[in-house]
Amino acid sequence: MRLRLVLLVAATTSLVLVAFLVPLALLVRSAAADRAVNAAVAQAQALAPTVGSLDEPALALALDQANAADGYRFTVFLPNGHVLGAPAARSAAVVRAADGSSLTAPAPGGREVLVAVAGLDDGTAVVRTFVSDAAMRRGVGRAWLVLVGLGVALLVVGVLVADRLARSLTRPLTAVAAVAHRLAGGDFGARAAPGAGPPEVREVGGGLNLLADRISALLVRERESAADLSHRLRTPLTALRIDTESLRDPAERRRITAGLDALERTVNDVIRAARRPMDAGDLPMCDATRVVGERLAFWSPLADEEDRRVDARLDPGPLPVMVPRDDLSACVDALLGNVFAHTPEGAGFGVRLLARAGGGARLVVLDEGPGLPERVALRRGHSGAGSTGLGLDIVERTATASGGGIALERAPGGGAMITVELGPPPGGATLTAR
């Protein structure tokens, strides 16, 4: 925008300068020519009394003295046909001037200045001088250079003023855009400076601040709702724990109690994550190797119980990714939960966690099941297998939030293969405990 404003002012100033300086340059040239011709006319008229008062020898001597000086050279055409002074041809303009009319006429290389001197005994004499084109253009080039310099100076001043004006307009807009980018990056405390810039920019900044306040309020309300809903799960968990204590089989009781403990830990993690302050300076990231390894350890007992072969290959960590620990845990649980829910018992699965060249990690989950349906839409609440449809949506939102993505394909053995790209944290950021 700043460059466009400067270019607009430069183009407008250039047009104004051209419209002003071109006629002025032509006027300067015309005035220089008129000045030279008028000077020649004045000198020729000054010789007219001499022509009428002197005889031919004295007049010839006077013309020689006049022509010896620097300036115009004069010729006198007498009525008797004699020509005195500088040699010159008797042109058609001289013939017209001999009829008693003083005039100027174009001639090769300049103009003829002709002054008729009447009152002589035998007719009218003509005083002729010649003004060259160089004489008529004398000083024009210097004047044009001055005009060009003035035009360039005015253009430079106009561009500098336009640049200052454009900067005063674009600087507040740039600040507002920076605030918008900070909000998009999760810094919900970013606000535009009030009173900066022209009224329109101040109005945009005020609207952005109102939007940021509204977003912060909605996020707080959503987090509180998530915490409240998670807290309500504790009551049925307590009832299930009481029922578990009545089981007679110790092994069964321990297995179910362990599952309830894991579920309670998950609920507590959700509550803590929902109540955690939104601090833009504390980047949400985790070690993908550690989190994926923990979730595999959680699901391995169930895989052993269902005779599922697990092929896990994880690159050695740490592999920092721009994902909160709880979100990555939920993502892995959703992927592995789909394997257990949509493949028959005994179907094995594999998990690959690979470091990406540009940072981040690539998580691949593939199974030996029947494969994906013909059409699978990553749309919240939509499922092609009779489930809630939220699992893949959680995975997709987690990948997108980190700057990555998700791909659904067929595994080499015919089953499903889901690839999740997890983006890296910003350069220089270190892992935080999550």
pLDDT 10s digits, 181-219: 888 777 778 888 877 777 877 888 888 888 888 888 887
Burial of 221 (0-12, 13-18, 19+ CB in 10 A): exposed
Q: Residue 135 and residue 52: Cα distance in Å, rounded?
A: 29
Q: Tell me, what's the pLDDT at 178?
A: 86
Q: Is the dihedral of CA 424, 425, 426, 431 positive or negative?
A: negative
Query: Based on the structure, what is the number of domains in the chain?
Result: 4
For residue 406, what is the domain's CATH number? 3.30.565.10
**Statement: residue 279 has pLDDT above 60:** no
The 123-132 sheet, strands edge to edge: 83-85, 74-77, 123-132, 110-120, 103-107
If asked whether residues 186 and 269 sit together in one domain, one would say: no
Q: Residue 362 and residue 404: Cα distance in Å, rounded?
A: 9
Q: Which domain holds residue 41?
A: 2-138
Q: Are 197 and 205 in contact (CB under 8 A)?
A: yes
Query: Given 113, 138, 163, which residue is the final one in a domain?
Result: 138
If asked whether residues 70 and 10 sit together in one domain, one would say: yes
If asked whether residues 263 and 312 sit together in one domain, one would say: no
If asked whether residues 332 and 377 sit together in one domain, one would say: yes
If asked whether residues 191 and 329 sit together in one domain, one would say: no
Give the alpha-carbon dihedral of 162, 163, 169, 171, to 10 degrees.
-170
Q: Are 85 and 67 in contact (CB under 8 A)?
A: yes
Q: Are 132 and 72 in contact (CB under 8 A)?
A: no
Enumerate helices (H) and strands (E) in the chain, giving the number of each: 11, 12
**Is there a cis peptide before residue 284, judged by omega within 30 degrees of 0?**
no
Q: How many Cα atoms are found within 13 Å in the side-chain-facing hemisphere of 164? A: 5
Per-residue model confidence as pLDDT tens digits over 229-262? 666 776 777 777 777 777 778 888 787 887 777 7
Q: Tell me, what's the pLDDT at 277?
A: 58
**Statement: residue 280 has pLDDT above 90:** no
Q: Residue 364 and residue 362: Cα distance in Å, rounded?
A: 6
SS3 percent helix, strand, coil of the chain, rounded to 5, is 55, 15, 30
Amino acid at 155: L
Q: Residue 111 and residue 117: Cα distance in Å, rounded?
A: 19
**What residues contact residue 131 under an 8 Å CB cut-off, 6+ apart?**
36, 37, 40, 72, 110, 111, 112, 113
**Statement: residue 223 has pLDDT above 80:** no
If asked whether residues 90 and 166 sit together in one domain, one would say: no
Q: Residue 124 and residue 116: Cα distance in Å, rounded?
A: 7
Ranges 82-86, 153-157, 340-344, 369-373: which has the least confidence? 369-373
Residue 75: other Cβ atoms inside 10 A: 23
Q: Residue 187 and residue 279: Cα distance in Å, rounded?
A: 7
If asked whether residues 156 and 243 sit together in one domain, one would say: no
The stretches of 246-306 forming alpha helices (DSSP H) are: 250-275, 288-305
If asked whether residues 126 and 188 sit together in one domain, one would say: no
Ranges 321-325, 367-371, 427-431: which has the least confidence? 427-431
Query: Given 92, 113, 138, which residue is the final one in a domain?
Result: 138
For residue 10, what is the domain's CATH number? 3.30.450
% residues pLDDT > 90 (the chain):
24
Query: Given 138, 166, 198, which residue is the final one in a domain?
Result: 138
If asked whether residues 212 and 264 sit together in one domain, one would say: no
If asked whether residues 308 and 425 sit together in one domain, one would say: yes
Burial 4-13 (b: 16+ CB within 10 A, else e): ebbeebbeeb
Q: Is 402 helix (H, G, I), strand (E, B) or coil?
A: coil
Q: Which of 134, 117, 135 shows the shortest CA–CA distance to 126?
A: 117
**Statement: residue 387 has pLDDT above 50:** no
* pLDDT band (50, 70, 90) for residue 281: very low
* pLDDT band (50, 70, 90) for residue 389: very low
If asked whether residues 293 and 424 sit together in one domain, one would say: yes
If asked whether residues 264 and 321 sit together in one domain, one would say: no
